[in-house]
């Protein structure tokens, strides 16, 4: 009590944690938690068990359902009721090690990126949130100069542009970003080639819709690209870690909602690189220690007030307050201990 009145309880929203379950010391499934909307402080409240290697998790636009890849050699995708936290069903992708997934703008289809097989898989989404059997599989072609990582194609990311017209599939093995039109089926419309050996991993679009940024895992760079109508044109290339830093593997790339700031997670340097948008390119602002090891995934909360980092090799999820004016991120809240976190999903609807 203060001044004779009860203090308001902190407002919280739900958050889910993707993880690996088959690794030593792994999770039991998808982690369930909350975050404080005023401080970013995270808490873990439970787990959705029975979901194998849910390394990436997304939610439906209405918040009623969750979808998770099952990153293993058999390749599956799982649907979950977000209210009951029960598995609805799962379907085989027909590809190996799906590592990313997205819903199309209509919410009627789901597409996975299957890393080891270098393929994309399409599934219909039923009204009850369940997934129908796979209706299409697209096989990428291509390779790169890195014999360990680029002997063949490795689809790593699938996301629609801001207009919802084209799907961008980022392929680490082929050093390419493939663009597809989509009307229930994927149809290739263009291919953008990145530098040989770059190893493109993820892409993020600027709010203007005219620019996109590609994080390259193998050469530790971020590329500013012009974008229009399903065609990507690579431009400026910047390093994401300081010169002389240990071997570094960029993972996630984010753009602030106002389009003024871009962030890239650095696995190895264990930092978040902050860039200011500078015309058609970027200017490095600096690096912030992520407070853990090997930040595989970073994301904003729905308001853009907080940035969360899933630090795979230290079993920690860390929180940062975002200064909306300067873009600076500052540690906020206590790091959350959880098993092998590789994805953070703050829900839009609470």
3-state secondary structure of 220: coil
Longest dimension (CA), the chain: 70
The DSSP bridge pattern shows strands 249-255 and 119-124 to be unpaired
**CB of 148 within 8 A of CB of 99?**
no
Closest among 228, 154, 164 to 198, alpha carbons compared: 154
Calculate the average pLDDT of the chain.
Answer: 96
pLDDT of residue 350: 72
Closest among 138, 134, 115 to 125, alpha carbons compared: 134
Same domain, 202 and 342: no
Q: How many whole angstroms separate alpha carbon 323 and alpha carbon 263?
A: 13
**CB of 304 within 8 A of CB of 329?**
no
- Assigned domain for 264 exists: yes
DSSP for 155-167, written as a single string: EEEEEE-TTSSEE
pLDDT of residue 3: 46
What's the token pair of residue 113? 């990126």
- Assigned domain for 176 exists: yes
**pLDDT digit string, tens, across residues 52-101:** 999 999 999 999 999 999 999 999 999 999 999 999 999 999 999 999 99
Report CA torsion sign: 306, 312, 313, 316: positive
Q: Exposed e or buried b for every residue in 31-59, given b needs 16+ CB within 10 A?
A: bbbbbbbeebbbebeebbeebbbbbbbbb
Closest among 342, 349, 312, 338 to 33, alpha carbons compared: 338
pLDDT of residue 62: 96
Same domain, 43 and 149: no
**CB of 117 within 8 A of CB of 132?**
no
- Assigned domain for 181 exists: yes
- Assigned domain for 84 exists: yes
Using 50 as the pLDDT threshold, list the residues of the chain that sit under it: 1-4
Same domain, 126 and 222: yes
The DSSP bridge pattern shows strands 231-239 and 98-103 to be unpaired
pLDDT of residue 348: 87
pLDDT of residue 79: 98
Same domain, 203 and 337: no
Number of structural domains (the chain) is: 2
CATH code of the domain containing 221: 2.130.10.10
- Assigned domain for 250 exists: yes
- Assigned domain for 5 exists: no
**pLDDT digit string, tens, across residues 106-145:** 999 999 999 999 999 999 999 999 999 999 999 999 999 9
Neighbours of 117 (CB within 10 A): 23
Same domain, 92 and 233: yes
What's the token pair of residue 240? 């994401």
Contacts (Cβ under 8 Å, ≥6 apart) of 222: 213, 214, 215, 216, 237, 238, 240, 250, 253, 262, 264, 273, 275, 282
Same domain, 341 and 328: no
- Assigned domain for 1 exists: no
Q: How many whole angstroms separate alpha carbon 123 and alpha carbon 19?
A: 23
Same domain, 145 and 242: yes
Range of the structural domain that residue 346 is part of:
10-50+298-316+333-350
Same domain, 203 and 290: yes
- Assigned domain for 102 exists: yes
Sheet holding 341-346, edge to edge: 42-49, 29-36, 12-19, 341-346
Q: How many whole angstroms separate alpha carbon 74 and alpha carbon 86?
A: 22
């Amino acid at each position: 009590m203060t001044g004779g009145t009860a203090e308001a309880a902190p407002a919280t929203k739900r958050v889910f944690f993707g993880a690996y379950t088959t690794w030593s010391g792994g999770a039991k499934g998808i982690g369930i938690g909350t975050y404080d909307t005023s401080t970013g402080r995270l808490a873990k409240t439970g787990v959705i068990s029975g979901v194998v290697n849910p390394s990436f998790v997304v939610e439906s636009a209405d918040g009623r359902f969750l979808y998770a890849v099952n990153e293993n050699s058999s390749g599956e995708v799982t649907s979950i009721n977000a209210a009951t936290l029960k598995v609805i069903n799962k379907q085989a992708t027909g590809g190996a090690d799906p590592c990313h997934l997205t819903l199309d703008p209509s919410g009627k289809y789901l597409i996975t990126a299957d890393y080891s097989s270098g393929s994309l898989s399409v599934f219909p989404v039923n009204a009850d949130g369940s997934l129908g059997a796979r209706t299409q599989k697209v096989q990428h072609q291509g390779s790169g100069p890195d014999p360990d990582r680029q002997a063949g194609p490795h689809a790593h990311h699938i996301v629609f542009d801001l207009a919802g017209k084209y799907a961008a599939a980022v392929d680490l093995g082929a050093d390419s970003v493939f663009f597809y039109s989509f009307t229930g089926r994927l149809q290739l419309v263009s291919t953008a080639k990145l530098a040989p050996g770059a190893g493109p991993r993820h892409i993020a679009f600027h709010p203007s819709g005219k620019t996109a940024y590609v994080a390259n895992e193998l050469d530790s760079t971020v590329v500013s690209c012009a974008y229009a109508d399903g065609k990507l044109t690579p431009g400026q290339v910047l390093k994401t870690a300081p010169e002389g830093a240990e071997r570094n593997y960029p993972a996630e790339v984010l753009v602030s909602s106002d389009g003024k700031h871009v962030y890239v997670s650095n696995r190895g340097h264990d930092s978040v690189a902050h860039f200011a948008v500078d015309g058609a390119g970027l200017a490095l602002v600096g690096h912030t220690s992520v407070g853990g090891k090997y930040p595989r995934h970073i994301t904003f909360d729905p308001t853009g007030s907080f940035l969360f980092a899933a630090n795979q090799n230290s079993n920690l999820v860390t929180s940062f307050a975002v200064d909306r004016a300067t873009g600076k991120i500052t540690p906020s809240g206590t790091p959350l201990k959880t098993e092998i976190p590789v994805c953070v999903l703050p829900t839009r609807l609470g």
